[in-house]
C-alpha cells in the first residue's frame, strides 16, 4: 500500500526529472555552414550570469541550451542552442569577451534565412541588455 506522502514524493520526483530532461542532440540534423553569423562582445560577471542570459533566450525562443567551459581554469565557453529547425553555436575561441555565433539551419524543415537573422539580432540584443 502506498501512503499519500509516498505518492507525493514519487510524483514530485517524476515532475523534477521531466523538467531536467533535455532533448537528444544530433549534429547530423543540421547543415555544416551557418546561414547567419553574429559577434557579441560580452564579458560575463560570472558563469551564472552567462547561463542566465543564454537560458532566458532559449526559453523565450523554444530552444534547448547548453553552456560549457572549454577549459576548467579559463573563462572561455562554448554555447549550444538547438530546436528542430535550427541550431545556434557560439564560443570564445580567441578572446574571452568575444562570442562568435553561427545559426545553422536544419537539413529538414530549416529555419528561413529571415528568421535566422532575426534570431541573431535578438541574441545580440539579449546580451547587450545585460
**How many separate domains does the chain show?**
1
Q: What is the pTM of this model?
A: 0.77
Compute, in degrees rounded to 10, the torsion defined by CA atoms 71, 21, 111, 26. Answer: 60
Report pLDDT for 2: 44
Please indicate, yes or no, if residue 88 is contained in any of the structural domains. Answer: yes
Dist. CA 86–CA 32, nearest whole Å: 12
Over the stretch 29-72, which tens digit does the pLDDT of each residue have?
899 999 999 999 998 888 899 999 999 999 999 999 999 988 88
Dist. CA 37–CA 88, nearest whole Å: 9
Query: Which is more confidently placed, 13 or 48?
Result: 48
Please indicate, yes or no, if residue 8 is contained in any of the structural domains. Answer: no
Can you give the residue range of the structural domain that contains 73? 25-128
Please indicate, yes or no, if residue 102 is contained in any of the structural domains. Answer: yes
Query: Which is more confidently placed, 99 or 15?
Result: 99
Q: Which CATH number covers residue 80?
A: 3.30.160.110
Amino acid at each position: 500500500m502506498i501512503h499519500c506522502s509516498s505518492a507525493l514524493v514519487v510524483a514530485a520526483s517524476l515532475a523534477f526529472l521531466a523538467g531536467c530532461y533535455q532533448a537528444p542532440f544530433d549534429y547530423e540534423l543540421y547543415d555544416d555552414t551557418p546561414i547567419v553569423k553574429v559577434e557579441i562582445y560580452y564579458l560575463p560577471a560570472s558563469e551564472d550570469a552567462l547561463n542566465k542570459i543564454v537560458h532566458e533566450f532559449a526559453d523565450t525562443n523554444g530552444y534547448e541550451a547548453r553552456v560549457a567551459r572549454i577549459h576548467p581554469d579559463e573563462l572561455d565557453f562554448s554555447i549550444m542552442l538547438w530546436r528542430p529547425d535550427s541550431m545556434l553555436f557560439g564560443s570564445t575561441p580567441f578572446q574571452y569577451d568575444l562570442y562568435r555565433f553561427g545559426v545553422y539551419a536544419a537539413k529538414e524543415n530549416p529555419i528561413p534565412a529571415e528568421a535566422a537573422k532575426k534570431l541573431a539580432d535578438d541574441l545580440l540584443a539579449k546580451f547587450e541588455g545585460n
